[in-house]
Structure 1
Amino acid sequence: MFQKAMLIYNGNAGQRDAEKILSQTAPILASKIPKLFLYQTQKPGDAEHFCRQHGEEVELVIVMGGDGTVHEAINGLAPLDTRPGLAILPAGTCNDFARSLNIPLNLKQAAELIAFNGVEREVDLVETDDRYFSNFWGTGLIAAASESIDEASKGMFGRLSYYMSALRTLSEQDTFRFKLEFDGRTVEDDAVMLLFMNGRSIGATEFPMDSIQMDDGLLNVLVVKEAGFTLLKEIFTAKTSVDWEENESTITQYMTSACKVTLDEAQTIDLDGEHYKGAHDTIRILKQHISVMVPSDVADINE
């Protein structure tokens, strides 16, 4: 078991909330980890800073928070020469990375997983020109939907706010011109959304695609050519695996380990919930780049 770990938690939560959450989890973790150091974030970027500064000093980094805090930690850990393991105590609205790895969403159960019966699995991360991501890179419809989420509504309605926002933007999203260069081929077309997926879950909804795996060294690239309620239903309400046939769907799928993306003009890019403007990016998979604690009874993280 781990001898030395650090626990990063969100200091922007109310003091009583933070104390309550820590009282549920820290004793469980401390019972099996002799040296457990607590780091409290106060502002954006703190989690990334803690991981860069202290990541190589511990065997395990435990992140208590949502996808934004996990994303920060990933960007702090990915560049390190010696990377500790990563464990997640899901405390956000969607917890998409945790969902993709079958990590319990109950905080006490997640802590027990780390302390007693979890196992380490090596998973892929993805490098862009300037940042890293664990779950997805997207522009067009998905970025517009994410940007328009009202924070108050997000806190009150959780995952429902994502769907409400998507419904509002579906009829408003313009097409844009793009070029993809990968595996010796070039694809140029118009789209309303580009999506590079490493994880299965977005907005607390699992994409029903068997080809999305988190340790195969491949990205799933989805090109959405036109928007409509049929598309929303196809993605968010499918109950079984979906096989999107080229020329018979609003979605075209490619799989690659690296891709250069060029947009006709700068667009909002959504990188695991982090937004920035850009017109080009180079996206490259880092196969099995980090070890994450997952349930021991899951033989394969993608099953």
Structure 2
Amino acid sequence: MSRLIWLIVNPHSGGGRGMRRLPDAERALTALGLEHRTHCTTSLEHGRELAQEGADEGALVVTLSGDGLIGAVAAVLADRDDALLGILPGGRGNDLARTLGIPLDDVAAACAVLRDGVARPLDLGRVGDRSFVGIASLGFDSDANRIANEAPSWLGRGVYAYGALRALAAWHPARFDLEIDGAPPRSVTGYSVGTANNSAYGGGMYAAPHAKLDDGLLDVVAVRSMPKRRFLTQLLPRVFKGTHVELPEVEEARARSVRISADRPFVVYADGDPIGATPVVISVRPHALRVMAPAA
């Protein structure tokens, strides 16, 4: 890889983790012989603008951030025929990097993927005119995400468990109406509905263990009603291995597009950020761009 590295850093990602890793990343890129320019974002919109500038320069656009900025940058690059994205983990969750096999805690090794890795296709999920790389979900997840985003940064990855526990205490079942690929609507009463491009979210929670990044489909995972104690002691611990889908209250389906409404309003979250609201249509854009990943 001889292209200029256009490094986009989110200073606030992961409680400042991206900025703390930046000096090591810059040293590693220099040691690898990779020319680079560093740009810090002030917002997701600014990140999109920086990605456009980097692509116009013919550079390899690389994020040092969490999945939220990755999704914003990927949406810009997807409009280009030569779209190629590089990822350096710099957030709290880093779920896309985790799934791709990019080293999470070895900055130099992650940088080496930019030189020695391979380009592989990546689908993008879409909510309206917004794109996401991971899992778009609503219901219980809406409350848990909101609480986690408001939590103090010193909790680190613990914000996800904190958000889930706080949300569970106040949760009341909701009814979700799903229309999958134009089929007649069906109702699910319970906790949440997720539409997954990636298998993981929330820092290693495998909410959709069978989802693939490049199969042109979204995995739809719905969690039906169960007692809160069962949700806490049986379902949540299993999510970290993806075995929760074996429980009778969990349903899976695959779709190119799904329309979701609910009996009360919910904000839809994806890649850790609000991306829409019910009623919502969530779809997939197959092989929207390519992403650098470790060679097999």
TM > 0.5 between the two? yes
Q: Give 1:96's aligned residue.
A: 95
Q: Give 1:300's aligned residue.
A: none
2:69 equivalent to 1:47: no
More helix by share: 2
1:49-86 superposed Cα distances (whole Å, 9 cap, x missing partner): 212344243242110112222222123323x2334311
How many angstroms apart in 2 are the aligned matches of 1:164 and 1:216?
Answer: 33
Q: Give 2:243's aligned residue.
A: 242
1:256-276 superposed Cα distances (whole Å, 9 cap, x missing partner): 121122233431211211115
Tell me the CA shift for residue 231 of structure 1: 2.8
Q: Give 1:261's aligned residue.
A: 260
2:179 equivalent to 1:178: no
Q: Give 1:301's aligned residue.
A: none
Q: Give 1:148's aligned residue.
A: 147
How many angstroms apart in 1 are the aligned matches of 2:234 and 2:76?
Answer: 35
How many angstroms apart in 2 are the aligned matches of 1:263 and 1:208?
Answer: 20
Q: Give 1:162's aligned residue.
A: 160
Tell me the CA shift for residue 3 of structure 1: 2.0
Distance 1:192 1:208, change over 3 A: closer
How many angstroms apart in 1 are the aligned matches of 2:22 and 2:63?
Answer: 12
How many angstroms apart in 2 are the aligned matches of 1:44 and 1:216?
Answer: 27
Superposed structure 1 runs of 4+ greater than 6 Å apart: 16-19
Q: Give 1:283's aligned residue.
A: 282
8 Å Cα contact 1:264-1:279 kept in structure 2? no
8 Å Cα contact 2:18-2:65 kept in structure 1? no
How many angstroms apart in 2 are the aligned matches of 1:183 and 1:235?
Answer: 28
Q: Which runs of 5+ in 2 are unaligned?
A: none
Tell me the CA shift for residue 286 of structure 1: 1.4
Structure 2 length-normalised TM: 0.86
1:154-176 superposed Cα distances (whole Å, 9 cap, x missing partner): x2222222112211211322223
8 Å Cα contact 1:113-1:295 kept in structure 2? yes
2:272 equivalent to 1:273: yes
8 Å Cα contact 1:182-1:258 kept in structure 2? yes
Letter in 1 for 2:254: M
Q: Give 2:216's aligned residue.
A: 217
Q: Give 2:113's aligned residue.
A: 113
Structure 1 length-normalised TM: 0.84
How big is the alpha-carbon RMSD for the aligned residues of Structure 1 and Structure 2? 2.7
Q: Percent identity?
A: 25
Q: Which runs of 5+ in 1 are unaligned?
A: 298-303
